[in-house]
Amino acid sequence: MKEKQGGLETMEYILTAKDLTKEYRHSAKALNRFSIHVPKGAIYGFVGENGAGKTTFIRIICGLQAPTSGNYSLYGVKNTDKNILNSRKRIGAVIETPSIYLDMTARGNLKQQYQILGLPSYDGIDELLQLVGLDNTGKKKAKHFSLGMRQRLGIAMALAGNPDFLILDEPSNGLDPQGVIEIRELLLRLNRKKQITILISSHNLDELSRIATHYGFIANGNKVEEITAKELQKVCRKCVKLTVTDTDVLARILDIMNIEYEILSDTEANIYGEIPVSELTLKLAQDNCYITSMHEQAETLESYYINLVGGVNHE
């Protein structure tokens, strides 16, 4: 689906939702007039703390739950249209934990998945196993797999129907560092080589920042913001953390120089924008204040998220 703005075609979206609400009896709204736009070809980072409504949203999109009100569209087909079932067939999903048979091999699990989907042959299983790095597991049963291997098998099963949209709920949760790297590299391959659009629900923000092209932030079932990775880079300003002998002197001189800053303690401050280091050092020395350390740093996705939802009432 391509949206238009001012008569001009803007962007093609695989998934959109508008005012999506999900209420449960005797509880707060899991989703509250929630909206989202997932562009074709994106790796969309769906960010929110536990209980924010991420899994509820994913379950609704996959047809496992019905919204109380509002609507969503997959490939331009609204959820109220009977053709939404055909749109859902283009989705592969791993929700919460992979649904795998522990007493089966990787190949056995994929054969079972092919049968469930009603696929006419087992063509493609070898390619899938190779794609997720499980082609050498042979007769090893899934119960003897590492957590990362099980996660990759779950993704392979989600890919069995050849979807072009993959939805993953916390894919790196509980993985060791090597497992996290393997999942990251797999998702990048799927996106770049297979042109699969991916929505990743995650609270591992450091890892998400390495691969996401777009972000959507949710808190208490409410959409807080949507932003591209490029826009986020511009917003996450770089600063210089300065350690000096007296931040009172530093603040006075920075005010005179009209430089933006934030005092952190008696000896530390963050300074934003371009800094004329030689001039600042000289002015500080004239007031018997000296710089003892200086290093650049940038706001992280995690700190951006915390600042973003800081004003939202969340548990």
141 lies in some domain = yes
Q: What percent of the chain has a predicted confidence (pLDDT) above 90?
A: 70
- How confident is residue 3, by pLDDT bands cut at 50, 70 and 90? low
Same-domain check for residues 243 and 166:
no
Same domain, 159 and 273: no
Evaluate whether residue 202 is within a structural domain: yes
pLDDT of residue 7: 38
- Are both 294 and 225 inside the same structural domain? no
Domain count, the chain: 2
Question: What mean pLDDT, rounded, does the chain reach?
Answer: 89
Final residue belonging to a domain, choices 187, 211, 229: 229
Where is the domain boundary, 229, 255, 277? 229
Inside any domain, residue 71: yes
- Kindly report, residue by residue over 188-234, the tens digit of the pLDDT: 999 999 999 999 998 888 889 999 999 999 998 999 999 999 888 87
For residue 257, give the CATH number of its domain. Answer: 3.30.70
Q: Of 237 and 61, which is predicted with more confidence?
A: 61
Query: 0.85 exceeded by the pTM?
Result: no
Note whether residue 315 is domain-resident.
no
Final residue belonging to a domain, choices 211, 229, 247: 229
Q: Are both 136 and 255 inside the same structural domain?
A: no
Domain of residue 69, CATH code: 3.40.50.300
Do residue 71 and residue 206 come from a single domain? yes
pLDDT tens sequence across 44-95 = 999 988 888 999 999 999 999 999 999 999 999 999 999 999 999 999 999 8
> What confidence score (pLDDT) does residue 291 get?
95
Average pLDDT (252-278) is 91
43 and 170 part of one domain: yes
* DSSP structure string for the chain: -EEEETTEEEEEEEEEEEEEEE--TTS--SEEEEEEEEETT-EEEEE--TTSSHHHHHHHHTTSS--SEEEEEETTEETTSTTHHHHHTTEEEE-SS----TTSBHHHHHHHHHHHHT-SS-TTHHHHHHHTT-TT-TT-BGGGS-HHHHHHHHHHHHTTT--SEEEEESTTTT--HHHHHHHHHHHHHHHHTS--EEEEEES-HHHHTTT-SEEEEEETTEEEEEEEHHHHHHHS-EEEEEEES-HHHHHHHHHHTT--EEE-SSSEEEEES---HHHHHHHHHHTT--EEEEEEEE--HHHHHHHHHTTS---
pLDDT, tens only, 90-134: 999 998 778 899 999 999 999 999 999 999 899 999 999 999 999
- Residue 5 forms part of a structural domain: no
pLDDT for the residue 98: 81
**Same-domain pairing of 136 and 18:** yes
Query: What residues make up the domain containing 213?
Result: 14-229
Q: How confident is the model at residue 2 (pLDDT cuts 50, 70, 90)?
A: low
On whether residue 61 sits in a domain, the answer given is yes
- Residue 308 falls inside a structural domain: no
